[in-house]
Structure formats: C-alpha cells, structure tokens
Amino acid sequence: MKDMSPDDIVGEHKKTVLKFTDGSERVVYTTEIETPMPSGRLIVSRTDAKGIITHVNQSFVDMCGYTEAELINTPHHILRHPDMPAVAFKGLWDTLSEGKKWHGYVKNLRKDGGFYWVFATVIPNIREGELMGYSSVRRKPSREKVEEAEALYKTL
Ligand SMILES: Cc1cc2nc3c(=O)[nH]c(=O)nc-3n(C[C@H](O)[C@H](O)[C@H](O)COP(=O)(O)O)c2cc1C
C-alpha cells in the first residue's frame, strides 16, 4: 500500500509508521480534525475473503475522501487509524472466522489525515457453505459510546 502523501493532508499533522498484520508498513499522517458521520446515512462496503475492497457506496467515498477507483482492489486497512488497537481487529477477524457477525466502534483515517468514528457491523457472506467475502455497514455512533471506546482503546 502506498504511503500517505503530505500534499493530501489538511492541517497540522503527526507522522506514524503503521505496521499491519501481514507485515507490511505504511506511513500515515494524522490530524485532530474530526468529520462527524451524518445521521441517517449508512457507509457500506464489501470485501473478498482476504479483506480486499470489492464494493463501496457513495457515503463511504464521501466520508473517507478516497475515490472509488482508489478504494477498489485495495486492502480495507487503507482506513486504519493509528489510534485503533490491533487487538480490536484481531477480535473482528476471530469472530468472522467462526462465521459470526461482529460489531464495534471504529475510528477511521481519512485521506486528508482527519478521522471519523463509526459503529460498524461486519458479516461473513456465506453462499452454499462457501465463504464469498464480507460486508460491512456503518452508522453514526452516539457521542457517549465514542468516548467510552476512545478511553478503552487507549488502555489496549
Ligand atoms: C468488511 C470489512 C470491513 C472493514 N472495515 C474496516 C474499517 O472501516 N476500518 C479499518 O480500519 N479496518 C476495517 N476492516 C479491518 C481491516 O481489514 C484490517 O483488519 C484492519 O484495518 C487492521 O489492519 P491489519 O489487519 O491489516 O493489520 C474491515 C474488514 C472487513 C472484512
């Protein structure tokens, strides 16, 4: 995955080198600018069995700032924010590998270095016993739950 480009970043930023589960790395830049998720909108994506994005809706594009072309065929960790503990995603993948639905609060990284919080539900798509991939739907989380998640994630 390509490093983030400082030219895309809006505002004062901090540099972090993210390490992913597959051993790859990405330089990311983060700002303190939050884009609140609008109520009544749903962010939808689908991935293949490896977590490579195969479909996004318009709300997904609007919230993360990447174009659809930049997102398709890219690992979903393009949205990984350094404030998200790796253990949260281990929980997600462990749950999915049991064929179960996962939900949780996620802080996502935008192309411009800002962030947005979502309440995400992820489900395995199983057809005739075969795993086809995963789908995720996200909605606006309550402020109280975001604050709880933020405090918890700092301890992990
Ligand atoms: C359907 C689906 C949706 C996902 N949505 C996100 C997301 O919005 N943000 C995110 O950081 N990771 C998301 N993930 C998890 C990533 O695939 C990845 O596990 C995570 O970003 C941590 O990176 P790593 O597992 O490559 O280390 C999603 C996974 C799936 C299967």
pLDDT per residue over 35-92, tens digit each?
999 999 999 999 999 999 999 999 999 999 999 999 999 999 999 999 999 999 999 9
Question: Is the pTM value of this prediction over 0.85?
Answer: yes
Q: pLDDT value at position 145?
A: 96
CB 99 within 8 A of CB 124: yes
- List, edge to edge, every strand of the sheet that includes 43-47: 53-56, 43-47, 130-139, 115-127, 102-109
Q: How far is CA 51 from CA 41, 55, 68, 74, in A?
A: 23, 11, 16, 9
Q: How remote is the CA of residue 145 from the centroid of ligand 1, in Å?
A: 20
Give 89 Cα–ligand 1 centroid separation in angstroms.
7
Q: What share of the chain is helix, strand, coil (3-state, %, to 5)?
A: 30, 35, 35
Query: Candidates 77, 90, 107, 136: which one to mutate for ligand 1, based on the most atoms within 8 Å of Cβ?
Result: 77
